[in-house]
């Protein structure tokens, strides 16, 4: 017997939020078998669950391990549902380029921001860690991203962030992009000093900032 | 510099000052622990990459740095991954930066069988640390506390096995994580013995236990019990040495769990130290916490003002040690380190 759409969505959401990957897989297969809309299931099930996890992260009830396992569950569900998306589901998303600046290989913070941005509906182009500074600008131009996110955990590589901003200025395209920065040694004062468009001190804050800079600006 | 306040001369050596804390007496002024680690190479003028791999260079750098700055603790250190490196993790070395993890030793869970407590006479760069420790104790140990710093059990585990997988396993495979932490704790106990044997103070850093990464519940389960074994070992074998713990980043959510580890000294980073004093000041001596990036970027006047603000927050300053929140960045201008220490001389007085 086929269950109601709402009941299955609740399982998708709870499965992500409560870190129960098996429940997510079962519910995602159920969506496919019943012929329910995959796009709806991703948005109102999986991503809704990830956003709930994000709220708890913000409140310091969930921490990095919990968030990583929630995201594993979310991606397991997306994997099953993606082949069933309709062409009409493809809509323009805000594009973002993200990476850890050259000289630094610590990427756990960047990965969290990426996960939360995925869940918040951004199209994220992840350059990884230890990224040559010019690559941020090149990639943003290539994919038409309007937002560049730079992360570092190390004071030795902080200056690379201002170099990226300088590169944009030199090419006369600074105004075409928003640049936001984050990571251990970074502060709002440092962001202001180098002329970045914003600073966030955790993943949830980065999403709010991205929304303010891109979504609200576009509205 | 702020010329309104003259800088009073010190009447105690660094060692005498720190001994006052241990005896529960008031020193002439508060101690100052700028966390000078790789920056020491800059004082001697050797490349950081040489400092990191040559015990003589590392030891001589710290002797030179202490003679230059007169800070109240020497901290022998290059990275938090040094124990893990000696246990098999591959590091990548740079000429002018601290090494970074290149390839964690554990690729799959079964590799845990190959993880052993290291041999301090030959594994990794442990001989470098030990030689540096011996040089500092011999050269200046009669005037200043020499401390050798190593990663705590969770930090060592996270350098042996990628941190993203390790944190997932805290939820999905906790028994395996405990097994790994047990070996890392045994390696830490050995480290303590080797450092004590050389007349230095073992100091533990556990950045992976930061509140940004680990919840209070996980700290209670995976961090505190193992740290407590290290502090117990120092208390039992350290001849009166205190047990010191540094955790980088945000720690406030974990303070209650951190108390379970029974350390005497907490060096804290991105927290409100005034709040920490209210919450735990009756149990631990607090060390902190000028923002490291500010040491690199701000002026000496700004450092003076920031340090003064922290001293004011600490009220009676009992048990308080002024410090940087985390490592003094390698390229910090020397005048900013001076400004930090002078702030302890100006604002941290007990003799007036």
Query: A184 and B211 in contact by Cβ < 8 A?
Result: no
The pLDDT of B192-214, averaged and rounded, is 94
Q: Give the model confidence (pLDDT) of B311-325 as tens digits.
A: 999 999 999 999 999
| Cα dihedral B43, B48, B52, B57 sign | negative
**Residue B100 touches partner A, C-beta closer than 8 Å:** yes
Q: Give the model confidence (pLDDT) of B72-88 as tens digits.
A: 999 999 999 999 999 99
Q: Give the model confidence (pLDDT) of A31-85 as tens digits.
A: 999 999 999 999 999 999 999 998 998 888 888 899 999 999 999 999 999 999 9
Query: B329 and A19 in contact by Cβ < 8 A?
Result: no
How sure is the predictor about B351, in pLDDT bands with cuts at 50, 70 and 90? Answer: confident
Task: Give me the pLDDT at residue A121, please.
Answer: 87
Q: Are strands A147-151 and A198-199 parallel, antiparallel or unpaired?
A: unpaired
For A:56-115, CB contacts with B below 8 A are 60-66, 68-69, 72, 103, 105, 108-109, 111
B231 belongs to a structural domain:
yes
Q: Is the pLDDT of residue B132 over 50?
A: yes
B23 belongs to a structural domain:
yes
Q: Is the pLDDT of residue B286 over 80?
A: yes
* Residue B196 CB neighbour total at 10 angstroms: 18
Q: Give the model confidence (pLDDT) of A121-131 as tens digits.
A: 899 999 998 89
**In chain B, what residues touch A193 (CB-CB under 8 Å)?**
297
**Residue A2 touches partner B, C-beta closer than 8 Å:** no
CA atoms of B69 and B334, how far apart (whole Å) = 8
Q: Determine which of B3-7, B178-182, B206-210, B313-317 has the lowest per-residue pLDDT on average.
A: B3-7
Residues 6+ apart with CB under 8 A from A43: none
Q: Is the pLDDT of residue A215 over 80?
A: no
Which CATH number do you get for residue B179? 3.20.20.210
Q: Give the model confidence (pLDDT) of A131-153 as tens digits.
A: 999 999 999 999 999 999 999 98
> Which candidate from A62, A158, A187 shows the least CB-CB separation from B291?
A187
pTM: 0.91
> Which candidate from A62, A68, A202 shows the least CB-CB separation from B168?
A68
For B149, the 3-state DSSP assignment is strand
Q: At what angle do helices A64-81 and A21-34 cross, to 10 degrees?
A: 20
Backbone angles phi, psi at B186, to 5 degrees: -60, -40
Q: Is the pLDDT of residue B3 over 50?
A: no
- Expressed in angstroms, the distance from the first to the final Cα of chain B is 22
Domains of chain A with CATH codes = 5-89 (1.10.1240.10), 95-218 (3.40.50.280)
B4 belongs to a structural domain:
no
**Residue B163 touches partner A, C-beta closer than 8 Å:** yes
CA atoms of B244 and B227, how far apart (whole Å) = 11
Distance (Å) from the alpha carbon of B168 to chain A's nearest alpha carbon: 5
Domain with B235, as residue range(s), is 14-347
Distance (Å) from the alpha carbon of B216 to chain A's nearest alpha carbon: 9
**Residue A122 touches partner B, C-beta closer than 8 Å:** no
CA atoms of B200 and A190, how far apart (whole Å) = 37
**In chain A, what residues touch B212 (CB-CB under 8 Å)?**
63-64, 109, 202
Name the closest residue on chain A to residue B171, using Cα atoms.
A65
Q: Give the model confidence (pLDDT) of A7-37 as tens digits.
A: 999 999 999 999 999 999 999 999 999 999 9
**In chain B, what residues touch A74 (CB-CB under 8 Å)?**
none
CA atoms of B183 and B203, how far apart (whole Å) = 19
- Expressed in angstroms, the distance from the first to the final Cα of chain A is 43
**Residue B305 touches partner A, C-beta closer than 8 Å:** no
Q: Helix, strand, coil proportions of chain A in percent (round to 5)?
A: 60, 10, 25
B123 belongs to a structural domain:
yes
Q: Using the 8-state DSSP alphabet, how is residue A131 labeled?
A: B
The answer to whether B29 and B10 have CB atoms below 8 angstroms apart is yes
B8 belongs to a structural domain:
no
How sure is the predictor about B175, in pLDDT bands with cuts at 50, 70 and 90? Answer: very high
In percent, how much of chain A has pLDDT > 70?
A: 99
The answer to whether A157 and A104 have CB atoms below 8 angstroms apart is yes
Domains contained in chain B, number: 1
The answer to whether B209 and B157 have CB atoms below 8 angstroms apart is no
Distance (Å) from the alpha carbon of A11 to chain B's nearest alpha carbon: 20
CA-CA-CA-CA dihedral for B156, B162, B168, B173, to nearest 10 = -70
**In chain B, what residues touch A69 (CB-CB under 8 Å)?**
168, 171-172
CA atoms of B8 and B34, how far apart (whole Å) = 19
Q: Give the model confidence (pLDDT) of B112-131 as tens digits.
A: 999 999 999 999 999 999 99
In b/e form, how buried is each residue of A69-81, taking b as 16+ CB within 10 angstroms? Answer: bbbbbbbbbbebb
B110 belongs to a structural domain:
yes
> Which candidate from A65, A109, A155 shows the least CB-CB separation from B218?
A65
Q: Give the model confidence (pLDDT) of A177-212 as tens digits.
A: 999 999 888 889 899 999 999 999 888 889 989 999
Q: Using the 8-state DSSP alphabet, how is residue B239 labeled?
A: T
Query: B214 and A158 in contact by Cβ < 8 A?
Result: no
Name the closest residue on chain A to residue B98, using Cα atoms.
A156
Query: A65 and B170 in contact by Cβ < 8 A?
Result: yes
CB pairs under 8 A between A and B: 69
**Minimal CA–CA distance to B296: which of B325, B337, B341, B267?**
B337
The token pair at A140 is 């943003």
Q: Which of B80, B90, B293, B331 to mutate to test the interface with A (most CBs of A within 10 A)?
A: B293
Name the closest residue on chain A to residue B296, using Cα atoms.
A155
């Amino acid at each position: 017997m086929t269950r109601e759409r709402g009941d299955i969505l609740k399982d998708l959401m709870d499965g992500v939020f409560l870190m129960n990957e098996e429940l997510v897989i079962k519910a995602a297969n159920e969506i496919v078998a019943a012929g329910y809309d995959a796009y709806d299931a991703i948005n109102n099930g999986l991503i809704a669950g990830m956003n709930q996890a994000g709220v708890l992260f913000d409140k310091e009830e969930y921490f990095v391990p919990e968030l990583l396992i929630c995201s594993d569950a979310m991606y397991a569900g997306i994997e099953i549902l993606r082949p069933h998306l309709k062409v009409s589901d493809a809509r323009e998303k805000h594009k973002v380029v993200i990476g850890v600046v050259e000289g630094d290989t610590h990427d756990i913070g960047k990965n969290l921001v990426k996960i939360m941005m995925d869940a918040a509906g951004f199209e994220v182009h992840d350059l990884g860690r230890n990224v040559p500074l010019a690559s941020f600008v090149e990639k943003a131009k290539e994919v038409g991203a309007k937002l560049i996110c730079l992360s570092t955990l190390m004071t030795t590589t902080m200056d690379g962030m201002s170099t990226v901003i300088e590169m944009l200025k030199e090419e006369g395209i600074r105004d075409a992009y928003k640049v936001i920065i984050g990571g251990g040694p970074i502060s709002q004062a440092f962001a202001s000093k180098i002329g970045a468009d914003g600073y966030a001190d955790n993943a949830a804050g980065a999403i709010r900032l991205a929304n303010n800079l891109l979504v609200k600006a576009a509205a | 510099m702020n010329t309104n306040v003259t800088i009073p001369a010190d009447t105690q050596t660094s060692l005498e000052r720190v001994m006052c804390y241990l005896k529960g007496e008031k020193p002439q002024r508060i101690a100052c622990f700028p966390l000078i680690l790789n920056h020491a190479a800059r004082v001697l003028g050797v490349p950081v990459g040489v400092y990191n791999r040559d015990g003589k260079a590392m030891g001589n750098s710290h002797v030179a740095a202490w003679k230059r700055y007169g800070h109240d603790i020497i901290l022998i250190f290059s990275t938090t991954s040094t124990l893990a490196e000696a246990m098999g993790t591959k590091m990548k070395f740079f000429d002018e930066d601290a090494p970074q993890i290149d390839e964690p030793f554990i690729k799959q869970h079964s590799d845990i069988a190959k993880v052993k407590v290291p041999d301090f006479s030959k594994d990794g760069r442990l001989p470098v640390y030990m030689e540096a420790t011996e040089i500092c104790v011999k050269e200046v140990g009669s005037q200043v506390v020499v401390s050798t710093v190593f990663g705590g059990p969770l930090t060592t585990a996270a350098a042996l096995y990628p941190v993203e997988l390790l944190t997932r396993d805290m939820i999905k495979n906790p028994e395996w994580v405990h097994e790994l932490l047990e070996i890392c704790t045994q390696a830490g106990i050995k480290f303590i013995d080797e450092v004590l044997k050389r007349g230095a103070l073992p100091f533990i850093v556990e950045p992976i236990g930061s509140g940004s990464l680990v919840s209070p519940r996980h700290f209670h389960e995976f961090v505190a019990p193992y740290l407590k074994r290290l502090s117990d070992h120092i208390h039992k074998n350290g001849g009166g040495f205190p047990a010191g713990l540094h955790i980088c980043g945000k720690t406030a959510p974990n303070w209650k769990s951190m108390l379970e580890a029974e350390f005497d000294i907490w060096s804290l980073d991105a927290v409100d130290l005034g709040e920490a004093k209210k919450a735990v000041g009756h149990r631990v001596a607090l060390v902190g916490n000028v923002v490291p990036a500010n040491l690199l970027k701000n002026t000496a006047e700004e450092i003076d003002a920031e340090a003064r603000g922290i001293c004011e927050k600490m009220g009676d300053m009992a048990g308080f040690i002024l410090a940087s929140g985390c490592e003094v960045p390698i390229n910090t201008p020397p005048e900013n380190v001076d400004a930090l220490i002078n702030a302890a001389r100006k604002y941290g007085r007990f003799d007036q």
